[in-house]
Amino acid sequence: MRIERARGTRDFLPKEMRKRRIMEERMRDIAERWGYEEIRTPTFERAELFTQKSGQAILKEMYEFRDKGDRHLALRPELTAPVIRMYINELKMTPKPTKVYYFGNCFRYEEPQKARYREFWQFGTEIIGSDRPEAQAELIALAFHILKSLGVKAELHVGHVGLIRERLRVLHADEEQINTVMRLMDKGEREAVIESMDERKRDEIGYLLDGLSDLIDSKDKDAFKEARDRNIIASDSNALQELELLLELLEYYGVDYTLNLGIARGLDYYTGMVFEIYEAGGKLGAQNQICGGGSYRLAKLFGGDDIPSTGFAFGVDRLEEIFSVDDKDLERRGVVVVPIRDKDADREVMKAAIEIASRLREFVPTHIDLMNRSLSAQLKYANAHHDSFAVLVGKNELKEAKVTLRNLNTGEQEKISVDDLCDEIKGLF
RNA sequence: GCCGGGGUGUGGUAGAGGCUAUCCCUGGGGACUGUGGAUCCCUAGACCCGGGUUCGAAUCCCGGCCCCGGCCCCA
């Protein structure tokens, strides 16, 4: 009976793995050069970690289960909460800001679609210890830089949940009401937002929402001043000052943005700047969001100090859909050592072949026959494999203490010593 | 959770109630016992699963599984 792959999961064949490896290395490389350090957290955590962050609703889209000790566990649906948990447990005493990055698989029980899987990979970074505009700007610039290195056409939307939260607080809305409003605003449901508020405040919130939507539509920084004049934004708004500084810093970094104050990211824990990046080339259909992030204060929720943080996560699988590399970069050319067996000299030939392969393996992908094949069959294999060179080792070569090096692309071949062989191959790989 | 389109060897396909299921590619071996890519031969390998209708099902019906895409949500 044939066993099917579990729904929403994938097998990665060698060629695809090479592509993913190239992407991964570029992302890692840039994060390292921006001064971030890699960390790794467990694949599963206590389920509360995620319900505390995102609410009970997330249970239905998590792989959660009880272990034999009746612990309530879950495969991680994302990595921000685990990273903050780790920080509180292990990294509290590191100098601030603590800058980390991660690359890991996450699991969500959702309907698979284009570039959406039940097991998927996220690459993300967190700045723990700062949610200041300087941190926000660096983080966004880093995300952009990575996307650029992958050749992704990206569109950045920047918002700030603080603007709206501040205003709602002035209306004496409680946190839960604020969260409800944020979610509805994210969906663009103006009427529902108004209905969710006290009747007494409906006129006020309607005025506020209309003002905010003007602000969103204008996408112009000058609109802030007007909004302030109309009392859409408080005159002493921290959020506004933060946002204005962020936008200025983004210009210094050379990052283009679109103001989008409608972003609430659907998550209650974001407290300040929020951003989303979309793929602009139309290669992803409905699932075109490739990155999301913002400023948040989660640490306190998990029993730590109330430390501000800023982070983002890429959907690596979505990036892979967009990212393209030359096919030739994905081919892994190597050398094949061909023992030419002979009844009289079988063992000597194999010994020599293995020794030569061992030396070549110091610096180049090297094959050696594992199927007791004839000379021509071994060469056929080398060809099918797109290997570049064959090193023929037979009793004729052994007599002269040499090997035959055959260039599989040109068909030229020569007899040379093993030392010369190594030197020549080394120069080519 | 809801909606639409699909599932035939490794991959790509033909097939529309009736012979041993077509073709291309692929794997293994050989023609070729010291020289590959061509050609030829041999060989391996499939109707997603379960039930139903029928003398007879890859084909029609039902359910499930999986894939592709859309809504919602998100990465």
Distance A288 CA to B14 C1' (A): 37
pLDDT band at A216 (very low <50, low <70, confident <90, very high): low
pLDDT over threshold 90, residue A357: yes
CA A351 to C1' B36 (Å) is 24
A357 CA, B75 C1': Å apart: 44
Q: Which of A28-32, A174-178, A263-267, A300-304 has the lowest mean pLDDT?
A: A263-267
Confidence of residue A73 (pLDDT cuts 50, 70, 90): very high
DSSP-assigned beta bridge partners for residue A312: A125, A293
> Quick one: tokens of A209?
């929402």
Mean pLDDT of A224-247: 81
Poorest-pLDDT segment among A67-76, A78-87, A329-338: A329-338
Q: Which nucleotide is nearest to A382 (CA to C1')?
A: B36
Q: Is the pLDDT of residue A332 over 80?
A: no
How many helices (H) and strands (E) would you count in chain A? 16, 16
pLDDT per residue over A133-146, tens digit each?
999 999 999 999 99
Gap between the Cα atoms of A182 and A191, Å rounded: 13
pLDDT one-digit tens code per residue, A116-130: 899 999 999 999 999
Q: A418 CA, B40 C1': separation in Å?
A: 39
Residue type, A247: L
Whole-number Å distance between alpha carbons of A338 and A318: 42
In angstroms, the CA of A106 and the C1' of B2 are apart by 25
Q: Flag whether pLDDT at A187 surpasses 70.
A: no
Res A150 pLDDT > 80: yes
List the single protein residue with the shortest CA to C1' distance from B71. Answer: A286
| Mean pLDDT over the full length of chain A | 85
Closest CA to B70 C1' — which residue? A286
Find the nucleotide nearest A58 (Cα to C1′). B73
> And the tokens for A261?
């104050």
Which nucleotide minimizes the distance between its C1' and the CA of A288? B75
Q: How many Å from the CA of A336 to C1' of B66?
A: 40
How far is A274 from A261, CA to CA, in rounded Å? Answer: 9
Q: Which domains are assigned to chain A? A: 14-322 (3.30.930.10), 332-426 (3.40.50.800)
**pLDDT level of residue A342 (50, 70, 90 thresholds):** confident
Residue that has been written with the tokens 């992302």 in this structure: A27
Which pair of structure tokens corresponds to residue A111? 């309907």
pLDDT of residue A18: 87
Instruction: Report CA Rg, chain A.
Output: 29
Token code pair at residue A7: 């729904």
CA–centroid distance for A49 within its chain: 21
Per-residue CA distances from A355 to A116, A337, A351, A371, A406 (Å): 47, 10, 6, 18, 18
Q: How far is the CA of A285 from the C1' of B25 (A)?
A: 31
For residue A190, the model assigns a pLDDT of 66
Give residue A317's Cα distance to chain centre.
8
Secondary structure class of A29 (helix, strand, coil) = helix
Average pLDDT over residues A64-92: 91
Query: Is the CB of residue A106 less than 8 Å from the CB of residue A78?
Result: yes
Cα distances (Å, whole numbers) of residue A278 to A45, A227, A323: 30, 27, 14
Of A216-225, A396-405, A410-419, the range with the lowest mean pLDDT is A216-225
Q: Which nt sits closest to A340, CA to C1'?
A: B34
Asked if residues A344 and A398 have their Cβ atoms less than 8 Å apart, the reply is no
Residue A181 CA distance to nucleotide B53 C1' (Å): 56
The whole-angstrom separation of Cα A139 and Cα A10 is 30
- Tell me the CA–C1' distance in angstroms for A288 and B4: 21
Q: Distance between CA A3 and CA A13 in Å, rounded?
A: 18
Predicted complex ipTM: 0.81
Reported as a pLDDT band with limits 50, 70 and 90, residue A314 is: very high
Task: Specify the nucleotide whose C1' lies closest to residue A189 (CA).
Answer: B72
- A239 versus A205: which is more confidently predicted? A239
Give nucleotides in strand B with any atom < 7 A to a protein C-beta. Answer: 1-3, 26-30, 32-37, 48, 65-75
Nearest to A275 by CA among A265, A287, A288: A265
How far apart are alpha carbons A425 and A420 in whole angstroms?
9
Q: Give strand letter and number of the nucleotide nearest A413 (CA to C1').
A: B35
Q: Which residue is nearest to nucleotide B32 (CA to C1')?
A: A376
Q: Of all nucleotides in the shown strands, which has a C1' nearest the CA of A265?
A: B74
d(CA A384, C1' B42) / Å:
21
**CA dihedral (A369, A372, A378, A384) positive or negative:** negative
**C1' of nucleotide B26: residue with nearest CA:** A384
Peptide bond before A308: cis, by omega within 30 degrees of 0? no
Whether the pLDDT of residue A58 is over 80: the answer is no
- Provide the CA A7 to C1' B15 distance, Å, integer: 29
pLDDT of residue A164: 73
DSSP-assigned states of every residue in A151-211: T--EEEEEEEHHHHHHHHHHTT--HHHHHHHHHHHHHT-HHHHHHTS-GGGHHHHHHHHHH
Per-residue DSSP letter, A304: S
**How many angstroms separate the CA atoms of A17 and A11, rounded?**
10
pLDDT above 60: residue A267: no
β pairing state of A37-38 and A98-107: parallel
pLDDT at A147 exceeding the cut of 80: yes
By C1' distance from the Cα of A290, the closest nucleotide is B75
Residues A180 and A168: beta-carbon distance below 8 Å = no
Q: Which of A5-19, A103-117, A195-209 has the lowest mean pLDDT?
A: A195-209
Contact A5, A113 (CB under 8 A): no
